C-alpha cells in the first residue's frame, strides 16, 4: 500500500509552531500547527494527484523509491535531482495549500485507516 501525505511544508511561514518545553526544562521539537492527514492510493493515483498539485502550483514535497535506499537528506536530494519530473518514480508526496485546492488535488483518494 502506498500513501499520499497531506502536511505543511517548513518553508511556509506560520506552519511550524514554537518549540515546547516541560516544567522540568526539557525541550521538545516544534509541531505542525495544522493537522496532518494521510491518504492511501496506488501508484497511478499518486502520479495523477501529484500532477494536479503541480498544475495548481501548490507547495509539494516528493518521496521517490530511491530515497528509501539512502541514509541521509543530502543523498535524498541527489536522487530527486537525478530524475526528470516525468520520470520520477513517485511513491508518495505531500502538499500544502488552501483547503479547497488541496481537496481538489486529493479528490478521489481515501484516508488511510
More confident: 4 or 8: 4
This model's pTM is above 0.85: no
Q: How confident is the model at residue 17 (pLDDT cuts 50, 70, 90)?
A: confident
More confident: 59 or 3: 59
Cα–Cα distance for residue pair 95/50, rounded to 1 Å: 9
Cα–Cα distance for residue pair 33/26, rounded to 1 Å: 20
Which pLDDT belongs to residue 35? Answer: 74
Which pLDDT belongs to residue 8? Answer: 40
More confident: 30 or 12: 30
* 13 has a pLDDT exceeding 50: yes
Q: How confident is the model at residue 31 (pLDDT cuts 50, 70, 90)?
A: confident
With b for 16 or more beta-carbon neighbours within 10 A and e for fewer, the 94-111 pattern comes to bbbbeeebbeebbeebee
- Per-domain boundaries in the chain: 2-111
Tell me the CATH architecture of domain 2-111.
3-Layer(aba) Sandwich (3.40)
Amino acid at each position: 500500500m502506498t500513501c499520499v501525505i497531506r502536511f505543511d511544508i517548513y518553508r511556509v511561514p506560520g506552519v511550524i509552531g514554537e518549540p515546547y518545553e516541560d516544567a522540568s526544562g526539557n525541550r521538545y521539537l516544534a509541531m505542525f500547527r495544522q493537522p496532518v492527514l494521510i491518504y492511501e492510493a496506488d501508484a497511478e493515483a499518486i502520479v495523477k494527484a501529484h500532477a494536479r498539485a503541480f498544475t495548481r502550483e501548490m507547495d509539494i514535497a516528493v518521496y521517490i523509491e530511491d530515497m528509501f535506499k539512502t541514509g541521509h537528506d543530502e543523498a535524498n536530494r541527489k536522487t530527486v535531482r537525478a530524475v526528470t519530473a516525468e520520470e520520477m518514480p513517485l511513491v508518495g508526496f505531500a502538499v500544502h495549500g488552501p483547503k479547497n485546492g488541496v481537496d481538489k488535488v486529493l479528490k478521489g483518494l481515501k484516508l488511510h485507516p
